[in-house]
Amino acid sequence: MKCRTLGMSGLRVSAVGLGCMGMSHGYGAPADKREMTELLAEAFDMGYTFFDTAEIYGTPLAPHDNEELLGEALRPFRDRIVLATKFGLTFDNPTADGPHALIPDSSPATIRASVEASLARLRTDHIDLYYQHRIDPAVTPEVVADTMASLIREGKILHWGISETTEDYLRRAHRVCPVAAVQNRYSMMARWHEALFPVLEELGVGFVAFSPLANGLLSGCYSPADIFDAATDYRAAMPQFRRESYAKNHDLLALVDALAETKHATPSQVSLAWMLCKHPWIVPIPGTRHLCRLKENIGAADVLLSPDEVEQIDSALSAMTMSDVFGGSALKTMD
């Protein structure tokens, strides 16, 4: 596996990381832990060194299932991987059908309680990359960054990042404690964060792309016949998976298929290669429960697109009609 450095942080990770949420949360009932433990070991063996989770990835009965899974499964490789987790969110109504509204809380007391709990569940004495999961409008970025600086001095975390940040929030936080990475939704269907790229370049901050395959749609593995369980699977509520959306996305999927054929690759691989070839500090973190997809996604790092090809793809995407795409769960602030 090729490696990349997240901005100027010095944090070196595999060029493609593994988003682990779907093993426990959001994509149906949690997968078998024994099978996922074996899959995580396979991932390490084939070169994945960057594993992403969060304290809220779980179920109502096992709310921290994903961190607990990774803590046990990755323990044999802990000193050879980069482990990322997140703080600052709870679900408004976790027993309802998803996606659930999210309640942000980035108060220093909550952050400190969260980091201690995550360290215990992850069976480690430090977190390599600790993200603020969403911006909390009740807490200034300076206060959050100062708390991160304290945790770094204490050795509890090595680097910190922000998920779904704005330029102003990032700049203010970065002045207090340098941000290693921003983790935002990014795919051929969700390009609204590209406006942040010049700022990341200026500040030397890496970009970690979650949902890089538009929650799997760009893999080419779905059709209008697919039905998802609304109680456990967020895709049931995602606009790109509505029956009528497949017709709207015909040109997009045809473009991806044509690129895949030209590059002797798969749709997933060219979708990931498109962002990998934009900037050396972009790292996608597709998720999977399947060994074949694990192998497929890691192969994207070997698919090369020239700057001209990337520009042509961007132009085609900008001119293309496509359906709406899921943009994230709603935030609900407490009065």
d(CA 18, CA 88): 21
Could you tell me which residues come within 8 angstroms of residue 332 by beta carbon, excluding any fewer than 6 positions away?
Answer: 92, 101, 102, 103
287 burial via Cβ count (<10 Å: 0-12, 13-18, 19+): buried
Instruction: Tell me if 221 sits within 8 A of 241, measured CB to CB.
Output: no
106's tokens: 């980035």
Instruction: Provide the residue type at 247 as one letter.
Output: A
110 burial via Cβ count (<10 Å: 0-12, 13-18, 19+): middle
Catalytic residue among 48, 57, 131, 234: 57
Report the side by side order of strands in the sheet with 50-52: 18-19, 50-52, 82-87, 127-132, 157-163, 181-185, 206-210, 282-284
Residue 186 annotated as catalytic: no
Could you tell me which residues come within 8 angstroms of residue 8 by beta carbon, excluding any fewer than 6 positions away?
Answer: 178, 204, 205
Helix axes 267-276, 250-262, angle to 10 degrees: 90
Helix (H) or strand (E) holding 258: helix 250-262
Chain-centroid distance of CA 233 in Å reads 17
User: Where in the sequence numbering do the catalytic residues fall?
Assistant: 57
